[in-house]
């Protein structure tokens, strides 16, 4: 589980581990079924060790993992903001961007439509570069299919971004 995702889920308010897991499950739907129950706790302890998250024991309860309450530190907060504004595209991972949008909406970190728009522009720039490279490449060179592939993937991603935009516009109206 991407660390930044968990951080973002804590941005709204401190939560128990099981609450975080529930929220993740709800956001991922069937794609999250394969998620290991303990995975989130592993990530949380890593984050704690990095100093991005603090952990408090609920008063008067035995020492069990799901009784702990986690909260962001100032460093964690910074990390989240940087992550939200980041437009690098990590590859075929759709879940991360999807979760970014949801977390941003829930925690009011940023307007999801603005995130989508910024990402779209970036992807268009990349598409432009890739397309120009493809045009410049002679028709039967060895590299042509690779460039074609990059272009097509970016095109597919852009279409997905359009779908996200339609979805999030509808959500706001509700």
Partner 1 sequence: MTGERRGRVLRARGLRKEYGRGAGLVRAVDGVDLDVTAGEMLAVMGPSGCGKSTLLHLLGGLDRATAGEIWLAGQRTDRLSERELARLRCEAVGFVFQAFHLMDELTAAENVELPALLAGRSPRVARRQAADLLERVGLADRATFLPAALSGGQRQRVAIARALANAPAVVLADEPTGNLDSAATLEVLRLFDSLHAVGQTLIVVTHDSRIAATADRMISMRDGAFIDETRLTGGTSGNLADLAGLGG
Nearest residue to 130 (alpha-carbon basis) of 157, 118, 156, 148: 148
Only segment of 12-20, 36-44, 52-60, 130-138 that touches partner 1 (CB under 8 A): 130-138
Which one of residues 128, 163, 167, 172 is an interface residue with partner 1 (CB under 8 A)?
Answer: 128
Q: Does 98 bind partner 1 (CB under 8 A)?
A: no
| Sign of the Cα pseudo-torsion (98, 7, 123, 150, in order) | negative
Contact 8, 103 (CB under 8 A): yes
Q: Does 91 bind partner 1 (CB under 8 A)?
A: yes
| Bridge partners (DSSP) listed for residue 168 | none
Which one of residues 31, 71, 82, 152 is an interface residue with partner 1 (CB under 8 A)?
Answer: 152
Token representation of residue 166: 């339609």
Q: Does 135 bind partner 1 (CB under 8 A)?
A: yes
Contact 77, 37 (CB under 8 A): no
**Nearer Cβ to partner 1, position 13 or 122?**
122
Q: Does 124 bind partner 1 (CB under 8 A)?
A: yes
Whole-number minimum distance, CB 173 to partner 1, in Å?
15
Residue 58 per-residue DSSP state: P
Distances (CA, A) of 69 to 48, 56, 57: 12, 5, 6
Q: Does 113 bind partner 1 (CB under 8 A)?
A: no
**Nearer Cβ to partner 1, position 64 or 132?**
132
Residues in contact with partner 1 by CB under 8 A are 87-89, 91, 121-122, 124-135, 146-155, 158-159
């Amino acid at each position: 589980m991407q660390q930044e995702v968990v951080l973002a889920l804590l941005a709204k308010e401190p939560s128990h581990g099981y609450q975080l897991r529930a929220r993740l499950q709800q956001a991922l739907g069937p794609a999250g079924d394969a998620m290991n129950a303990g995975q989130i706790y592993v990530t949380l302890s890593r984050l704690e060790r990095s100093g991005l998250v603090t952990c408090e024991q609920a008063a008067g309860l035995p020492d069990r993992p799901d009784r702990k309450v986690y909260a962001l530190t100032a460093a964690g907060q910074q990390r989240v903001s940087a992550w939200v504004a980041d437009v690098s595209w990590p590859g075929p991972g759709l879940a991360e961007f999807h979760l970014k949008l949801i977390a941003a909406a829930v925690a009011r970190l940023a307007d999801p439509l603005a995130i989508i728009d910024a990402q779209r522009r970036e992807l268009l720039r990349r598409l432009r570069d890739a397309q120009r490279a493809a045009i410049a490449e002679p028709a039967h060179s060895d590299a042509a299919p690779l460039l074609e592939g990059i272009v097509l993937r970016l095109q597919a991603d852009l279409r997905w971004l359009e779908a996200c935009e339609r979805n999030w516009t509808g959500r706001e109206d509700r």
